[in-house]
Amino acid sequence: MHQLWLKPGKERSLQRRHPWIYATAVARVSGTPGAGDLVGVHGADGRWLAWAAYAPDSAIRARCWSFDEADRIDRHWLAARVREAVGRRDRLAPVSDALRLVYGEADRLPGLIVDRYADQLVVQLQAPGVQAHSDVLVEALCEASGCHHAFERSDSALRARESLSTPAGPARGGERGVLRGREPPERIQVREHGLAYWVDVRRGHKTGFYIDQRDNRRLALELARELASTLGRAPRALNAFCYTGSFSVVMARGGARDSVSVDSSADALALGRANVELNGLEAEAVQWRCDDVFEQLRALREAAERFDLIVLDPPKFASSHHHVERAARAYKDINLNALRLLQPRGVLMTFSCSGAIDVDLFQKIVAGAVIDAGVDCVMRSRLGPGEDHPMLMTHPEGEYLKGLLLQRL
């Protein structure tokens, strides 16, 4: 058994059950543990603190499996964690068959992300510990979920930061490929709140779909209906960074017409059109524009366009704290232009998925945009991901998606 000792004072975060151990906190390690090997973690005084998976080349030098010394981190322990995670999502099955089944640290499986699309699992192995046990984890996932097909879509940039190699074998992990069963089809149809969507799990963003926005899509549908009632007409909606048009679909179902959906990917927009057709909606309800969203927002302003309901759901602008200043300028820009396009009594749903931008900073950025736009707005609520994306209270880094629901007065 390999052992890891922390520098004096560095045990405090583990005593608060934070699951990460940074390289700068490590005093010494016994032996030469490899990537993913189990280490017992001790304070400077020799007191046992945790079981962790070692990562010799990562800034996060170890990720904690357990803070219970009696635990044995073996295939039975890992399979039990998988069953618990999957079981916690059972109550969501009637709502959707697109679910996050495992969410890393929040499910005590650090570095493992698993999404379900109908009978297809999509797996991300983002840390050495879960990669080392991928065979056991995939087997447990298939058994617990009843799915027989698992496909890997690991983020290559994150794997590079973790210095993860690409080991051989049918279920050993390596960025992309079949882990179990067959190759995924070109499109998988999923259901959510009575609507249907096509998902491309092989080439789409993240694992193919923004599962985390499930509850916010439902809210957008309700907002479109609310606006139709209060305005006495069909609201006009703008979906910026629309991807495959899931927000466009729900807003059209809620009564929005002559809406505009913008994304820079022609392939994503093609799938968006297919999603409108799949749900029996009028093709004319949504205009699709393949363009840079920043430029399109400015063009819409110059054309004096106006909208009653706007969704801003951009990709991650800040991948680390080094990019926060640049990201803040980008968030300010898109929100400022969106607010200038918003009709009085109109509603803006604005989001950030940058983990480096916390809730308070995001709200401050958007407040600055409100001031510069010269409009009066109230914040109706803060928004976040669905309950299948929980945040471990001792690991606030797990909170990435945050949003605000604003209404112009």
Catalytic member of 142, 147, 353, 377: 353
353 is catalytic: yes
Burial label for 203, CB within 10 Å (0-12, 13-18, 19+), is exposed
Beta carbons of 54 and 61 less than 8 angstroms apart: yes
CA 173/CA 295 separation, integer angstroms = 39
Classify residue 229 as left (phi > 0), alpha (psi -120 to 50) or beta: alpha
Amino acid code (one letter) for 273: R
Give the phi and the psi of residue 236 in degrees, each rounded to 5. -105, 130
Please name the residues in contact with 368: beta carbons below 8 A apart, sequence gap of 6 or more.
332
For residue 281, give both structure tokens: 């909606």
Amino acid code (one letter) for 195: L
Element holding 262 (H helix, E strand):
strand 259-263
8-state DSSP, 96: B
Annotated catalytic residues are 353
